[in-house]
Amino acid sequence: MEIIIGSDHGGYRLKEEIAEYLKTKGHSVFNAGTYSTDSCDYPVIAKEVARRVLATANSKGILVCGTGIGVSIAANKIKGIRAAHCTDTYTARMTMQHNNSNILCLGERVTGSGLALDIVDAWLNAKFEGGRHQRRIDMIEEN
């Protein structure tokens, strides 16, 4: 699986740490930026990651900003994206099992890196359960 990862300046350090962690786990990682702690606009990166996730087979995305909220709001504007902002392993696991989330959002100023890496593991190791949950996901896309 390819993991497409991105952040703004507020999530830069945690994003880099997660990228290195994922590589040690054998994942292919595409780093969509930002590439420094210089101030930048999170919607740009969030939408770039979202579009790449939709365009790349067998991929998931991870977005980091200061709180995790801005990137999740922005990514969820892209049709087909189900971005989940998580601060614990339970919701990370459940959002994969029930929502088939395709982007995980984290907040560097909220969640320490040890917990953040556990959240990443919980999310990536969980499996979508399908069935009634697929029907509900289909309903999300209806106008």
Nearer to ligand RB5, 11 or 126 (CB): 11
Kindly list the distances between the CA atom of residue 115 and the CA atoms of 1, 33, 92, 110, 118, in Å, as whole numbers in the listed order.
22, 22, 11, 10, 5
Q: Which residues bind ligand RB5 (CB under 6 A)?
A: 8, 10, 42, 65-67, 69-70
Nearer to ligand RB5, 64 or 126 (CB): 64
**CA dist., res. 91 & res. 80, Å (int):** 20
Q: How far apart are CA 60 and CA 4, in angstroms?
A: 6
CA neighbor of 74 nearest in space, from 105, 53, 47: 47
9, 65, 85, 105: the active-site residue: 65
Q: Work out how close the CB of 38 gets to ligand RB5 at its nearest, in angstroms, rounded to a whole number.
A: 12
Nearest residue to ligand RB5 on Cβ basis: 70
Identity of residue 72: S
Nearest distance, CB of residue 7 and ligand RB5, angstroms: 8
Q: Which is nearer to ligand RB5, 69 or 115 (CB)?
A: 69
Instruction: State how far the Cα of 67 lies from the Cα of 51, in Å rounded to an integer.
Output: 21
Residue 65 catalytic? Answer: yes
Q: Among all residues, which ones are annotated catalytic?
A: 65, 98
